[in-house]
Amino acid sequence: MKRVSIKDVAKAAGVSASTVSYVLNSTPTETISKETKQRVMDAVSRLGYVPNLNARSLSSRRSSLIGVLIPQTEPGKELMFSNPFYGELLSSIEYTARQHGYHLLLSGTKEDQDYLSIAQNRGVDGVIIVGTYPGENLNALKTLGVPVVLVDSYVKDDAFHTIGIEDKEGARMATRYLIEKGHRRIAFVSGSIRENGVNIKRYQGYCDAMREAGLPVDEQAVYSGTVDYEYGIAAAREFLARGRKQTAAFVTADVISMGLVKGLQQNHVRIPEDVSIVSFDDVYLSQMAHPALTTIRQDIGEKGRQAVQLVLNASKAKEHHHTECILPLRLVERESVCERRDDP
C-alpha cells in the first residue's frame, strides 16, 4: 500500500500542506479556525495518515529516541530478561519515556563493543547505560553531544549523570540483620566480583558488618558466579559440597536467591530453619518465592523514572551540570530468615 502523505491529507481537506503541518504540530504562531482544524483531523482519520517520524526528526534534529544500552558483562549470558530486575527497570524507563513523547532504542552490547557507534547510528537524543565499568568505550560517548546517564555504575566522571544506590550500605544492612538474628557463620553469594562494580561494593559491605561484629570473613563462605537463577542452583550444590558450614547467606540478587532456595530445598535443606537468606533488590517475584524472600528493597521503578528524567532535564539545559541521584534502601522482612540463638 502507498503511504498516505501530508499532501494527500491537504488535498482531502481542501487546504495547503503547510496548514496540515501547522494543525498536526499545534504551531502556536499560526491562527487556524476550528472548522479548518476539524477538516484536517477528519481527513487524517479517514485516510489513516501516520506522521513520518524519520522526516520529522531530520527537520527538527531530534529523533525522540532514548537509547538504553545494557553491556553484557558476563560473557555468554543472555542478560536482559533472565533477571527480573531488568524487566522491571526497563518497564519503568519505557513508560516514563512514552509519557514524555519519547520511544526507546534498546540494545544489549558485548563488553568490547563500541557504545558510540551504536548511539550515533540511531541518532538518539540521550543515552541510558545500565551497569557499566570504566573504559575507552564509555569515554568515547563524551563526543556524542547528548546527555548520558549511568545507572548502577561506579564510574567517577562528571561528564556523565549518574543514578544508583548505596550498595555497600545495603549489604552491611543485610548482613547486620542476620547477625542480629543470632547467625555467626554467614555465606556471601554473588555474581562476578569485579573492581568498580556493584558486587564488590556489596562484598565490602558484607565484610564490614562481619568485622564490626568481631566475626571472621571466611573465603570458603564466598560464592561468586553469574547473576541468574541457574547459578543459584549451582551455588546450592557447591554449598553442600563444601560441607554446609554456614547457617545463613547474604545473596546479592533476588534471582540468585530464588535459585539458591530451590537448589537447597531439592536437597532437603529447609529455608529458613536450616539456612536463613537475606537477598537484595526486592523484585516483584521475591514475594512469590517459597518462602517469600527477606530482602533489601531498592525502588527499581523509581530508578527507571529518574534515569529518564535526568535525560530530559539535561537535554533542556543550556550548560552541562553533573547530576548524581542516590535512592534510599530499606529492609523488607518476609519468611526466609529465622532466629538462631544457639549458633556458636
Give me 248's grid cell: 545463613
CATH topology of domain 65-165+300-328: Rossmann fold (3.40.50)
Same fold? 65-165+300-328, 167-298:
yes
Asked if 173 and 207 touch (Cβ cutoff 8 Å), the reply is: no
pTM value is 0.80
Asked if 197 and 163 touch (Cβ cutoff 8 Å), the reply is: no
Contacts of 236 (CB under 8 A, 6+ apart): 259, 260, 262, 263, 264, 266, 267, 269
What is the pLDDT tens value at each position of the chain, 344 positions in all?
A: 567 788 888 899 999 988 888 888 766 656 788 899 999 999 988 888 876 655 555 444 566 889 898 876 565 555 556 789 999 999 999 999 999 889 988 877 665 556 666 666 667 889 999 988 777 677 777 877 889 999 999 988 898 999 999 999 999 999 999 999 999 999 999 999 988 889 999 999 999 999 999 999 999 999 999 999 999 999 999 999 999 999 999 999 999 999 999 999 999 999 999 999 999 999 999 999 999 999 999 999 999 999 999 999 988 887 788 899 999 999 999 999 999 875 55
Domain 167-298, what architecture? 3-Layer(aba) Sandwich (3.40)
> Domain residue spans in the chain?
6-51, 65-165+300-328, 167-298
- 150-155, Cβ contacts within 8 angstroms, sequence gap of 24 or more: 151/89, 151/303, 151/307, 152/198, 153/129, 154/196, 154/197, 154/198, 154/201, 155/196
CATH class of the domain whose range is 6-51: mainly alpha
User: How many H-runs (helices) and E-runs (strands) does the chain carry?
Assistant: 13, 12
Rg (CA), the chain: 26
Longest dimension (CA), the chain: 88
